[in-house]
């Protein structure tokens, strides 16, 4: 097991933890657009509001600047330089109608990279429960919001669903395309993780290699429980977040 804390003394360690906690708090406030006009409070306000020293506040801000989230302008102050769109995970599943502030209310535009009929690759065939080589439609696109890339998705869709997907106009989002194509859905499943952008993906998304991506593998089932689509989706996490809500169940003590 590697050490929990770096080597310096206890007081310095405590301070480094404070920097991390403050950075976390400010970062999520930036991401939910919580600073009016995108302008961060003055250093002295951040110090007072969090009970932290000037050095701690400055270090937290320096980390956020290094991550490209904020910039400091002499005489003006520190302002947010990213715009994060938060989309309901239920919307991303296609389980609820999209809301106007999310990504999926006809706001997105796809740039299609590939839309070809291919033999389904072995690994995906297994996931779909079909023999390798079964024909599928590979539909790969970059999702743009305001002409800026937000995500790249590679879908492998089986026939007959893929038949109509191959020709229907693809002008906004995946679910709109599916609706246009007349496909019937059952369940949608996301496996959610995070990965670093490789140079090619970084180039497609306008990021530097090594930037963090949200990685989602999606499987879509038909109403009878047959999986007909597997998608690999990578999103720019600096520009988009997902929100998930659920009601916590009572759990008996000791359970």
Binding positions for its own copies, 11-70, rule CB under 8 A: 16-17, 19-29, 31-32, 34, 45-46, 48-51, 63, 67
CB nearer its own copies, residue 74 or residue 147: 147
Rounded to the nearest whole angstrom, what is the least distance from the CB of residue 4 to its own copies in the complex?
6
Number of residues that bind its own copies (CB under 8 A): 108
Work out whether 187 is an interface residue with its own copies (CB under 8 A): yes
Question: What is each CA distance from 56 to 10, 41, 77, 186, 196, in whole angstroms?
Answer: 15, 15, 18, 50, 28
The answer to whether the CB of 23 falls within 8 A of the CB of 64 is yes
- In whole angstroms, the minimum distance from the beta carbon of 122 to its own copies comes to 3
CB atoms near residue 215 (< 10 Å): 16
Q: By three-state DSSP, how is residue 79 classified?
A: strand
Rule CB under 8 A: which of 132-161 touch its own copies? 132, 142, 147-149, 154
Query: Nearer Cβ to its own copies, position 75 or 223?
Result: 223
CA gap 207, 202 in Å, rounded: 5
Burial of 20: CB neighbours in 10 Å, binned 0-12, 13-18, 19+: middle
Beta strands 135-145; 212-221: pairing state: unpaired
Q: Which parts of 194-223 interact with its own copies (CB under 8 A)?
A: 194-196, 198-201, 203-204, 206, 210-215, 217, 220
Question: 220 to 249, contacts with its own copies by CB under 8 A?
Answer: 220, 232, 237, 240-249
Q: Is 83 in the site for its own copies (CB under 8 A)?
A: no
Could you tell me if residue 166 is left (phi over 0), alpha (psi between -120 and 50 degrees) or otherwise beta? alpha
Nearest residue (CB) to its own copies, 17 versus 72? 17
């Amino acid at each position: 097991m590697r050490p929990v804390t770096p080597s310096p003394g206890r007081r310095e360690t405590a301070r480094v933890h404070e920097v991390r906690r403050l950075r976390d708090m400010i970062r999520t406030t930036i991401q939910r657009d919580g600073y009016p006009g995108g302008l961060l409070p003055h250093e002295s306000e951040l110090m007072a509001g969090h009970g932290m020293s000037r050095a701690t506040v400055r270090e937290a801000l320096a980390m956020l600047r290094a991550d490209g989230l904020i910039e400091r302008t002499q005489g003006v102050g520190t302002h947010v330089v990213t715009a994060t769109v938060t989309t309901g995970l239920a919307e991303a599943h296609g389980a609820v109608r999209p809301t106007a502030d999310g990504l999926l209310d006809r706001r997105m535009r796809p740039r299609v990279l590939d839309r070809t009929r291919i033999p389904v690759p072995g690994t995906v065939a297994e996931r779909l429960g079909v023999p390798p080589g079964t024909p599928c439609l590979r539909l790969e696109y970059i999702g743009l919001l305001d002409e800026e890339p937000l995500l790249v998705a590679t879908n492998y869709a089986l026939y007959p669903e893929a038949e109509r997907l191959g020709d229907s106009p693809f002008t906004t989002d995946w679910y709109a395309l599916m609706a246009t194509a007349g496909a019937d859905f059952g369940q949608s499943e996301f496996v959610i993780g995070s990965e670093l952008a490789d140079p090619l993906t970084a180039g497609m998304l306008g990021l530097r290699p090594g930037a963090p991506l949200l990685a989602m593998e999606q499987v879509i089932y038909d109403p009878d429980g047959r999986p007909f689509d597997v998608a690999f989706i990578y999103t720019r996490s600096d520009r988009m977040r997902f929100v998930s809500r659920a009601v916590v169940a009572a759990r008996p003590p000791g359970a």
